[in-house]
């Protein structure tokens, strides 16, 4: 089979490797689509994602969709459309029984956080434990289902905010996660959804996904204390400070966007004076099931996908995904591409 590998900073190669055979309790999935995520961009353009350095050829990709190729149990016939929960949960911790995504020693598809690295889905075939497989609801296309993992991230963040029905919600950062957060907030019944970004392209896409107002923060200031809930999806320090200023007294800010593991200057005075609830969120637990349901009910969410690039041209997919003015979610069509 063919697979894409990141060998080092800005070094990408397609290689023939052995097609894996599933053992007991495993399923082999024929991959159709792989979404490019921020962590994938870091691995390619920097050779590392934070502290996780590429030390051996790494196949990226944890946002995947495709079809069952071989299920030794016989439960899922070949061709069954599926997506995959990309996490293998680690060591259980007392008190975190219901939050396995926070257990130590876990792994994630397409990650250099483990040694050997956990290879990802940008390949013709992917071998996964059967409890990671999620068959698609009737009517949900394989292409749209590639959004299940990032939508699950947005839904997990939204769960930390509580009920947003009838509330004023601000989403800071209108990249792919921010756009999917807007879709999730809209589905949850928010009264107003404001989206911010530094570029007009993402804001145009935010309006298409359901934002009732957009603010280009380089040209317009955010109103102070105006929002019940803020989903901070950019991970940029100035945006975090703005989120704390924009949320109402006793409101909630959820940090969805990842930030570097280093000190950054923040203005936390509003956090103190307004008794703001500021909560972190990391990946997701089981929200991928709710994501599949939402994707099946709301076909328009597929509009988050702005580019589909063939796997033989994977390098250009990374380049386009880095251009946030031009692109929303960039997806790689894995060979041979089957329309779905």
Q: d(Cα 207, Cα 205) in Å, to the nearest integer?
A: 5
- Residue whose C-alpha is closest to residue 40's, from 64, 6, 16, 15: 6
In order, the DSSP letters of 55-88 are: -S-B----EEEEEEEE-TTSSS-TT-EEEE--EE
Q: What pLDDT, on the 0 to 100 scale, is given for residue 153?
A: 98
The pLDDT tens digits of the residues spanning 147-170 come to: 999 999 999 999 999 999 999 999
SS3 at position 308: strand
How far CA 266 is from CA of 80, 200, 231, 241, 256, in Å, comes to 48, 25, 17, 6, 16
Would you state the structure tokens that stand for residue 201, as one six-digit string? 């392209």
- Work out the average pLDDT over 213-220: 96
Would you state the structure tokens that stand for residue 159, as one six-digit string? 């769960």
Contact 149, 285 (CB under 8 A): no
Q: How many residues are present in the chain?
A: 340
Q: What pLDDT, on the 0 to 100 scale, is given for residue 337?
A: 54
Sign of CA dihedral 43, 47, 49, 54: positive
In order, the DSSP letters of 185-242 are: HHHTT-SEEEEEESSHHHHHHHHHHT-SEEEETTTSPPPTT-EEEEEE-S--HHHHHH
**Rounded to two decimals, what is the model's pTM?**
0.96
Between vectors from CA 121 to CA 120 and to CA 124, what angle results, nearest 5°? 135
- Work out the average pLDDT over 66-71: 98
Q: What pLDDT, on the 0 to 100 scale, is given for residue 340?
A: 46
Cβ neighbours for 10, distance < 8 A, ≥ 6 positions apart: 44, 45, 47
Q: What percentage of the chain carries pLDDT values higher than 70?
A: 99
The pLDDT tens digits of the residues spanning 254-279 come to: 999 988 888 899 999 999 999 999 99
- Residue whose C-alpha is closest to residue 117's, from 43, 56, 61: 56
């Amino acid at each position: 089979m063919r697979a894409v590998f990141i060998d080092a900073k800005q070094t990408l190669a397609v290689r023939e490797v052995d097609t894996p055979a599933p053992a007991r309790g495993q399923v082999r999935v024929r991959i159709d689509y792989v979404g490019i995520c921020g962590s994938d961009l870091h691995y390619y353009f920097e050779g590392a994602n934070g502290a996780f350095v590429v030390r051996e050829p790494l196949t990226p990709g944890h946002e995947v969709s495709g079809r069952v190729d071989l299920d030794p149990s016989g439960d899922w016939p070949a061709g069954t459309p599926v997506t995959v929960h990309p996490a293998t949960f680690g060591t259980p911790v007392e008190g975190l029984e219901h939050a396995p995504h926070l257990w130590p020693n876990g792994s994630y598809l397409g990650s250099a956080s483990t040694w050997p690295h956990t290879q990802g889905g940008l390949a013709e075939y992917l071998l996964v434990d059967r409890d990671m497989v999620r068959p698609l609801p009737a009517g949900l296309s394989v292409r749209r289902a590639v959004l299940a993992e990032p939508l699950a991230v947005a839904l997990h963040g939204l769960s930390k905010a509580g009920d947003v029905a009838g509330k004023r919600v601000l989403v800071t950062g209108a990249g792919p996660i921010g756009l999917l957060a807007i879709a999730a907030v809209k589905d949850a019944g928010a009264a107003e959804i404001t989206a911010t970004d530094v570029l007009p392209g993402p804001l145009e896409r935010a309006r298409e996904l359901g934002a009732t107002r957009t603010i280009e923060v380089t040209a317009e200031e955010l109103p102070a204390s105006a929002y019940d809930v803020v989903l901070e999806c950019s991970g940029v320090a100035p945006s975090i400070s703005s989120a704390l200023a924009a949320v109402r007294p006793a409101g909630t800010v959820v940090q969805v966007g990842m930030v570097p593991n280093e000190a950054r200057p923040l203005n936390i005075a509003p956090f103190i004076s307004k008794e703001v609830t500021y909560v972190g969120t990391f990946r997701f637990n089981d929200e991928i099931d709710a994501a599949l349901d939402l994707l099946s009910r709301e076909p328009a969410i597929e509009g988050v996908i702005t580019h589909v690039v063939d796997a033989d041209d994977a390098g250009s997919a990374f380049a386009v995904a880095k251009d946030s003015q031009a692109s929303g979610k960039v997806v790689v069509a894995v060979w041979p591409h089957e329309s779905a």
